[in-house]
């Protein structure tokens, strides 16, 4: 399912069961609000944009999809108001923002767990250790077949799918698995569009890939998720294991708001709307919301 179709279907479902935290919008409010960045955060941001514009029809909210790194570049150049991020801002990105006189505020939106997935016909990879995952994805890896991971597994080539180099998911995954960000083999199908990765793995019995939890949840009919073991026990991603951090690849999802942009009424109204509804939106699109008190505290500080 394409991202926009996913968002439409889930926000329609959300509206059937929830009322968004805004009774009516200011029909006279005008302007543009620009977001770009993480494909993982995209479903939340796009859903918020669609619902916000129903309340504020004269405000145009655009949400780009260039990966966390791509979004940060635009953010530091003052091209966008909000950067969607699936990792923390890097020191060099913060330095570029400072050089561009961009003051900003970091805000967490939800929790995610990067999910390692295989084809449903894969009945052998019922778990992987973090050491095995590292051996598979490290630069110069000699792992070419499933048998190279475990002698009992098929002697068939592994077709790998993963995020591109501009993705925050790529940065976080490599740092957690390899111990250093951006260390990875490069002989895999890379894309900043997670739907490309979903399609690739779902059509190849011997494929393996990784991406955000929401994309696994939406496509679990055509994918199997692989539990990961950091210690003795393997843990699968779930609402509980991601929230309590027992899943090895749990992480926060964030937005970075340009402080100058936030002074504009239309941008301030959108960020407030996003924070008020982040719990509902993140849950509906497959992520794990923060505590309500946390959202209230962030909103209070923002205002």
Q: 117 pairs with which residues across the strands?
A: 209, 225
**pLDDT of the chain, 303 residues: tens digit per residue:** 344 444 444 444 444 444 566 556 778 999 999 999 999 999 999 999 999 999 999 999 999 999 999 999 999 999 999 999 999 999 999 999 999 999 999 999 999 999 999 999 999 999 999 999 999 999 999 999 999 999 999 999 999 999 999 999 999 999 999 999 999 999 999 999 999 999 999 999 999 999 999 999 999 999 999 999 998 899 999 999 999 999 999 999 999 999 999 999 999 999 999 999 999 999 999 999 999 999 999 999 998
CB atoms within 10 A of CB 163: 33
User: What is the domain-level CATH number for residue 243?
Assistant: 3.40.190.10
On whether the pTM is more than 0.75, the answer is yes
Structural domain boundaries enclosing 37: 3-111+252-302
Q: Which of 83, 86, 87 is nearest to 63 (CA)?
A: 83
d(CA 192, CA 200): 13
Task: Give yes or no: residues 37 and 85 share one domain.
Answer: yes
Task: Give yes or no: residues 123 and 191 share one domain.
Answer: yes
- Residues 256/75, Cβ–Cβ less than 8 Å: yes
Task: Give yes or no: residues 178 and 240 share one domain.
Answer: yes
Task: Give yes or no: residues 39 and 120 share one domain.
Answer: no
Task: Give yes or no: residues 30 and 107 share one domain.
Answer: yes
Cα dihedral 187→193→194→198 (10° resolution): -70
Task: Give yes or no: residues 74 and 32 share one domain.
Answer: yes
């Amino acid at each position: 399912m394409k991202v926009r179709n996913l968002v439409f279907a889930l926000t329609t479902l959300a509206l059937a069961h929830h009322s968004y935290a805004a009774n009516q919008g200011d029909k006279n409010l005008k302007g543009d609000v620009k977001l770009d960045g993480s494909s993982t955060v995209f479903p939340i941001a796009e859903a918020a944009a669609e619902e916000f514009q129903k309340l504020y029809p004269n405000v145009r909210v655009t949400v780009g999809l260039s990966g966390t790194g791509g979004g940060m570049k635009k953010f530091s150049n003052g091209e966008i108001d909000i950067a969607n991020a699936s990792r923390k801002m890097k020191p060099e990105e913060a330095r570029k923002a400072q050089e561009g006189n961009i003051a900003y505020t970091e805000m967490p939106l939800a929790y995610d767990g990067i999910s390692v997935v295989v084809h449903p016909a894969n009945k052998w990879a019922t778990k992987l250790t973090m050491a095995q995952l590292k051996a598979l994805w490290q630069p110069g890896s000699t792992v070419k077949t499933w048998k190279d991971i475990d002698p009992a597994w098929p002697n068939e080539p592994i077709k790998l799918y993963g995020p591109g180099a501009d993705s925050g998911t790529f940065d976080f995954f490599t740092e957690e698995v390899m111990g250093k960000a951006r260390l990875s083999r490069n002989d895999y199908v890379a894309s900043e569009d997670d739907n490309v990765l979903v399609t690739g793995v779902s059509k190849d019995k011997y494929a393996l890939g990784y991406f955000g939890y929401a994309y696994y949840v939406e496509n679990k009919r055509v994918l199997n998720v692989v539990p990961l073991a950091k210690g003795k026990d393997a843990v699968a991603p779930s609402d509980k294991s991601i929230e309590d951090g027992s899943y090895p690849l749990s992480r926060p999802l964030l937005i970075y708001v340009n402080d100058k942009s936030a002074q504009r009424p239309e941008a301030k109204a959108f960020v407030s709307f996003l924070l008020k509804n982040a719990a509902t939106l993140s849950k509906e699109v497959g992520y794990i919301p923060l505590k309500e008190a946390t959202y209230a505290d962030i909103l209070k500080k923002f205002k």
